[in-house]
Amino acid sequence: MTSCNTRTVPRRFGAARHPRSQRRAGLLLAAALGLGGGTPAVAEAEESCAANLTCDALQPARVTRPPIWEPPDLGQLVFRPFAEPVATADGAGVASAPRTWEEPTTGLRFVRIPGGCYEAPEGVDEPRAPVCLEPFDMGVYEVSFDDYDRFAQETARDLPDDKGWGRGQRPVINVNVYDAMNFARWLGRQSGQRFRLPTEMEWEHAARAGSQSPYPWGDEPGTNRANCDGCGSAWDGQSTAPVGSFAPNAWGLYDMTGNVAEWTCSIRAPDPETWSAQVCDGRYESRRRVLRNGAWSDPPSRLVAGWRDWNAAVRRTEEMGFRLVRELGAGERTAGSAAAVGGAGR
């Protein structure tokens, strides 16, 4: 009999977001396997068969776990931009995003994120391969209900549930990876551009905005700087906040800290030999995708730039949303001028 070998990395970044839903899934699996609920065998079979949709789930199978692996910690590396850095208002001397771009049909705004390489600091004996990223445009805001509802109505899709919190400029929630991918394709047809979800390294690069600190503004979460469970905002632990309710980071991006966890196009990779900082998987399949950013219901510890979570690509919850990347044409990938982007509202 074929066994189900999962490639699960232990969830060292936090507990599952919805244990009750996972418990119900475990009971259903137990019934299908003819087992009593709540046993370790059921938990093992549930995790392994969920990770491998082609497995023969007639009997519980042992789960073999590879060694823990993590993507590079960008906070321990130094960002060296392709463009010459310029002095910012705080004198930090990191390269700032040169300009913004507006999608003409919807008015969605994107900001240019400079390309460059993350390298080991001077004096580090252990050699590390640099993590290099090409420049790209990132959505200034998380995609809102206003943005998504227009797409849903024009394509005859069901409108996502807003949990009674309101729609408008709140970030769209209860959307999965494929909803986001379809929104990106629809948006591309409006303007002839290519949009997609960011990779997890693109997301962290944009969130850090040249900073090595845990939060874009420093080492501590502070008060009323973001929306989370314990951030000191008006929405703490209760609901999402309208996009752009807090100050942007140094590159002009809003809500890269808190509000909703954001889907990326990166599959949670257990094998470092097959992982790449720039792999974006656009296939329609159910493997788990990486989420970046902490949500309105998460503690401040999950809002740090390096926080990493994952969920099934088909999953929809009130904690998960997304923002898009616009891929640049060959003529746009030049260094260009590095001028700071202001934090103008939407």
Structural domains of the chain ordered from first start: 1-68 (no CATH), 69-346 (3.90.1580.10)
Q: pLDDT tens-digit profile of 148-194?
A: 999 999 999 999 999 999 999 999 999 999 999 999 999 999 989 99
Token pair 């390269």: residue: 95
Kindly report the average pLDDT of the chain as a whole number: 75
Name the pTM for this structure: 0.72
| pLDDT tens-digit map of 53-92 | 333 333 333 434 444 456 666 766 677 777 654 444 444 5
Name 118's bridge partners: 79, 131
Q: Tell me, what amino acid is at 169?
A: Q
Cα separation of 249 and 182, whole Å? Answer: 28
Short-list 293, 265, 259, CA closest to 277: 265
Whole-number pLDDT of residue 338: 32
Residues in Cβ contact with 170 at an 8 Å cutoff, skipping those fewer than 6 apart: 144, 145, 162, 240, 241, 242, 243
In sequence order, the 6+-apart residues with CB closer than 8 A to the CB of 240 are 165, 170, 171, 173, 227, 259, 260, 296, 318, 321
pLDDT digit string (tens) for 197-220?
A: 998 889 999 999 988 888 988 889
Does residue 339 register a pLDDT over 50? Answer: no
Q: How far is CA 22 from CA 15, 47, 127, 268, 273, in A?
A: 11, 10, 41, 19, 30
Average pLDDT in the 132-151 region?
Answer: 95
Taking each helix axis as running N to C, give the angle between helix 177-191 and helix 145-154, from 0 to 180 degrees, rounded to the nearest 10.
80
Is residue 1 pLDDT above 50, yes or no?
Answer: no
Model pLDDT, residue 248: 95
Q: Residue 207 and residue 98: Cα distance in Å, rounded? A: 16
Q: What tens digit of pLDDT does each residue of 10-63 get?
A: 333 333 444 334 444 444 433 433 334 444 444 444 444 344 433 333 333 343
Extended strands (E) in 178-329:
195-196, 261-267, 288-292, 308-312, 320-321, 325-326
